[in-house]
Amino acid sequence: MAQVTVASPTNIAVIKYWGKRDSKLNLPINSSVSITINQADLRTVTTVTASKDFPTDRLWLNGEEEDIEKNKRVQKVFAMVRGRSSKWAGMKVHVVSINNFPTAAGLASSAAGYAALSFALAKLYDLEDAYPGDLSTIARVGSGSACRSLAGGFVAWDMGDKADGTDSCARQVAPANHWPELQVLILVVSDKKKAVSSTAGMQTAVDTSPLLAHRAAKVVPARMVEMEAAYHKKDFAAFAQLAMQDSNQFHSTCLDTYPPIFYLNDVSRAVIQFVHAFNTACGEVRLGYTFDAGPNAVLLVLKQHAPQALAAVLAHFPPERGAEAGYVNRPAMRQAALAVGPPAGLAAAFPLEPQVGVIKYVYHTDVGPGATILDSSEALADSAGMPLMTAPPPRPAASLSGALELCSSSRLQLAAGVLAAAAVLAVAARKK
């Protein structure tokens, strides 16, 4: 019997992956690049156990067992790993995995999930990179964007051009400590599973959107170069503007898809207007946004402007009365925001009435490291490979705000309970 436990972060693309040239191998029609989100705030933890005594492979996600035989993506990852190592030949594997954020709600749960699975299996099977980015191709086969979650900091996924996908892999552009001032505010508009999966949405887009073809061929190659340069130079205005433009173009391709796909909603569009008004009030680009395949807003901001930006969010998108304490994951950040206040002139630049309760909660986070091995004390399975948590945790009587008063590890576990209980638990749905 052997066991490994890992944690993997999620990532947020600032140049988006959308469209495949090979859907079996998840080979994209364009390169993309993302920031790795600090896994103290959003992560997947996965324990894999291998034993010759297990009659079958088994998988538990967020406390519920999945039918692993029917999950083609997981089977592909298993086959790739086993095809490269005879170490555990004849042995079966138990996988136990938990997200501490909503599954399939546009927060890149598939990225964190498949990065964790492939990283854990690679460690268990003693696989090493045969060339830079090699192991990221295993995560990519599970879910395209997952290849970018193995490394920390700023990570590109170079599209490659080989038919076997060996050159379609992740490359770290800069580590997490290159730009420690870069921070993120995730405004969770909805933690429900989205109506159109990314996999289905991007396939229809490839089939029907001329704008997507133009974007992949003509727009993204130049943007990748500009984006990497902006990140290297820590040029926030250039970085944020490119991220906003690329998000807007990605969602334009969704509208150009036939029939069209709508991932943004009225709240998302109000946040977009709000960010531009904020920048107008500040007289410079201090805030950026990017939206994945869902309505949640990911705001980009430098540390010195984060309290002001959060104050503006609190003023224009306040929580329901009574929900204030749990609204922001870091209470000290909320206090700092209230002390600073929003920029003068924002109310004039953004004349919409405050929209109470349309944002469920806010994660203040930053850029962090990639997938990591955890201590065995953090294992999610016992020595027989059986999950230590056999059912989703009941929604605690204490609200998220109560959870936030606890020490940080308990807080994460409780917050995970609150969020995981609301999540849809099918690995088949582990597509953003």
Pairing between β-strand 64-66 and β-strand 2-9 as defined by DSSP bridges: unpaired
d(CA 307, CA 80) in angstroms, rounded, equals 45
Q: If DSSP codes are grouped into helix, strand and coil, which group holds residue 176?
A: helix
Look at the block and give the residue holding tokens 């490359």.
171
First-residue to last-residue Cα distance in the chain: 33
Residue 265 CB contacts under 8 Å (≥ 6 apart), including other chains? 189, 190, 295
Q: If DSSP codes are grouped into helix, strand and coil, which group holds residue 32?
A: strand
Cα 374 to chain centroid, rounded: 20
Q: How far is the CB of 375 from ligand 2P0 (least distance, A)?
A: 29
Scan residues 24-43 and list those touching ligand 2P0 (CB under 6 A).
Answer: 26, 32
* Window contacting ligand 2P0 (CB under 6 A); options: 16-24, 265-273, 278-286, 297-305: 16-24
Residue 109 found at the interface with ligand 2P0 (CB under 6 A): no
Judged by beta carbon, residue 37 or residue 389, the one nearer ligand 2P0 is 37
Judged by beta carbon, residue 18 or residue 239, the one nearer ligand 2P0 is 18
Q: How far is the CB of 114 from ligand 2P0 (least distance, A)?
A: 7
Among 10, 31, 71, 110, binds ligand 2P0 (CB under 6 A): 110
Judged by beta carbon, residue 3 or residue 253, the one nearer ligand 2P0 is 253
Residue 198 found at the interface with ligand 2P0 (CB under 6 A): yes
Residue 284 CB contacts under 8 Å (≥ 6 apart), including other chains? 237
Among 13, 35, 104, 187, binds ligand 2P0 (CB under 6 A): 13
Judged by beta carbon, residue 118 or residue 308, the one nearer ligand 2P0 is 118
Token representation of residue 269: 């569009």
Judged by beta carbon, residue 32 or residue 39, the one nearer ligand 2P0 is 32
d(CA 85, CA 76) in angstroms, rounded, equals 15
Q: How far is the CB of 143 from ligand 2P0 (least distance, A)?
A: 3
Residue 293 found at the interface with ligand 2P0 (CB under 6 A): yes
Cα 430 to chain centroid, rounded: 12
d(CA 344, CA 12) in angstroms, rounded, equals 30
Residue 139 found at the interface with ligand 2P0 (CB under 6 A): no
- Give, in degrees to the nearest 5, the angle at Cα 364 between 275 and 150: 105
Whether 94 contacts 53, CB under 8 Å: no
Judged by beta carbon, residue 49 or residue 197, the one nearer ligand 2P0 is 197
Q: How far is the CB of 13 from ligand 2P0 (least distance, A)?
A: 3
Residue 193 found at the interface with ligand 2P0 (CB under 6 A): no
Residue ranges binding ligand 2P0 (CB under 6 A): 13, 16-18, 26, 32, 110, 143-145, 198-199, 292-293, 431-432
